[in-house]
Structure 1
Amino acid sequence: MSQPSPETFEHHGSITSTAPAAAVWALWCDTSTWPDWDPSVEAVRLDGAFEAGTTGTMTLAGPFEVPVTLDVVEPGVRYLDRLSMGDLEISIDHVVSDLAGSGCEVTVSTTITGPGAEGIGPMVTAEAPQAMARLVERAEAG
């Protein structure tokens, strides 16, 4: 008998910016800026450099703290962080790429797995469009 697959929720969003990809990356890799542009984040503490394998704690609005791990870091291009919330795993993949001519495109994909993922997913990603818009505003402001 096979095991049932865990419940999964996925959310994807993209936005373009007049800023170069490097300006977005500068905000992403400086976790002290995250509360400035992501309304769901109150603080982030990493136990090392912004590189794959680094762990830490993210304080989310509420407030409540959750363990965070940087699973993938491709400097200037992409990072994937994973939050562990009991039986739920939230993976957020962030990708930025320069557009031909000028500006960049930012894509954020969230995957939530575990019991209740389909129910909690819309709540977890509700502020994602606002976070992306604020991120782009700050990157464009320099």
Structure 2
Amino acid sequence: MTFALERTVATSATPADVWALWSDPGSWSAWDPAVQSVALEGHFAEGAAGTMVLAGPIEAPFVLEIVEPGARYLDRLTIGDLVIRIDHLVVAVHGGAEITVRTTVEGPGADDIGPIVTQDTPVAMARLVELAEAR
């Protein structure tokens, strides 16, 4: 089973402003209400691993599968039999940037769990935009 949700928002912030927040896992809890804390081993680069504590609290190991500095990163969380991938993309547009976040949930019960995993996505993206625009 696979669940997927994609959301795109526009901002007057630059891609660099958005990337500054994305590439600082210590700031993730400031803009994503589902995240309580993040511990990343090493630098923000492909293959880096860490632990994310989500609301609940649920502790989930994660890996940065893709990192394209200034533009994109994809993190993979594993919770039991579920694999959650969150792909983050920022591109420059006239007057700012466009931010897209695509979440996929794979595994047993993905169709039921996916909406729970993504319920805070609109709030997280609004907070991210607010903080990026304030930079």
TM tier, smaller: over 0.9
Match 1:8 to one of 2, 14, 25: 2
1:47 to 2:41 alignment: yes
Number of equivalenced pairs: 135
1:93 to 2:83 alignment: no
Match 2:61 to one of 64, 67, 79: 67
TM (norm. structure 1) is 0.94
What do the CA deviations read for 1:79-109 (whole angstroms, capped 9, x no partner)?
A: 0000001110000000000103x20000000
Alignment gaps of 5+ in structure 1: 1-6
For the pair shown, the structure with the greater C-alpha radius of gyration is: 1
Match 1:57 to one of 46, 51, 58: 51
Structure 2 partner of 1:118: 111
- 4+ runs deviating over 2 angstroms: none
TM (norm. structure 2) is 0.99
What CA RMSD, in Å, does the superposition of the two structures yield over aligned residues?
A: 0.5
Alignment gaps of 5+ in structure 2: none
Bigger fraction of residues in strand:
2
Report the alpha carbon displacement of residue 63 of structure 1 after superposing the two structures with TM: 1.2
CA–CA distance in 1 between the matches of 2:88 and 2:58? 23
User: Percent identity between the aligned chains?
Assistant: 55
